Amino acid sequence: MSDHVYKKVELVGSSPESIEKAIENALAKAAKTLNHMDWFEVLETRGHIVNGAVGHYQVVIKVGFRLDD
């Protein structure tokens, strides 16, 4: 990370299966427009309830990516 500059963007991914899958879905979407994604940080984990059970998980993450030199 010596001389690089990074930017962080905040995303919300969701999945009916798991917290990990919600993170993966957010990254997969971001990967279509961002290069050099380097790390993520989970800010919030929440979800929607349907019929008294988890409908889907919603995970708010920050993604850090390197700006082109």
Identify residues 18-57 at the interface with its own copies (CB under 8 A). Answer: 18-20, 23-31, 37-42, 44-49, 52-57
Smallest gap from Cβ 68 to its own copies, in A, equals 10
CA angle in degrees (0–180, nearest 5) for 50-58-54 = 25
Dihedral sign of CA atoms 24, 27, 32, 35 in order: negative
Smallest gap from Cβ 25 to its own copies, in A, equals 6
Which tokens go with 14?
């969701």
Which residues of this chain interact with its own copies, rule CB under 8 A?
A: 1-16, 18-20, 23-31, 37-42, 44-49, 52-58, 60, 62-64, 67
